Amino acid sequence: MAKAKKSVKKTAKVKLATAAKLPAGFTAVAVGGGSSFVNWEVQKIVQGKVTNCYKKKGEYGIQRYIDVMQADKVSIAIPESGALKNLFDEAKKGKQVFIQYLGSIPLKGGKTYKQFQAAIK
């Protein structure tokens, strides 16, 4: 009688990026992956005041967005992602937010998983 083979599931070992020290007064609410309209390869940090929280239909259905007015008076619209969900749950008009892009992890099929650190004040 032949013995049944044991199934061994291998998990990928992925090195996660190290989050930077947060600015004084900020409380971390998220570190992980996601996406936004910001070109994170160029602008690695978005910090400023939430000027608007809203929902609209996007590429993947109804999505939450926040508009962040930065110190240089440039407003950035950021869509919710899985990694930024906790930030969106706490973000309200007038709150200060800090979002830092930590890099990407390659996934199977050529996709990437973006990592972020997010904080609110």
- Name, of 33-37, 70-74, 77-81, 90-94, the range with top average pLDDT: 90-94
Tell me the pLDDT band of 44, cut-offs 50, 70 and 90: confident
Work out whether the CA dihedral 98, 91, 87, 115 comes out positive or negative.
Answer: negative
Phi-psi region of 109 (alpha: psi -120 to 50; beta: other; left: phi over 0): left
Tell me the pLDDT band of 34, cut-offs 50, 70 and 90: very low
Q: In what order do the strands lie in the sheet with 75-79?
A: 27-33, 112-120, 96-106, 45-58, 61-70, 75-79
| Residue 18 or residue 16, greater confidence | 18
Q: Which two tokens stand for residue 2?
A: 């032949």
Q: Which two tokens stand for residue 59?
A: 């590429």
The residues spanned by each domain of the chain are: 27-120
- The whole-number average pLDDT for the span 99-103 is 89
Q: Does the predicted TM-score (pTM) go above 0.85?
A: no
CATH number for the 27-120 domain, one of 1.10.760, 3.40.1130, 1.10.1740, 2.40.50? 2.40.50
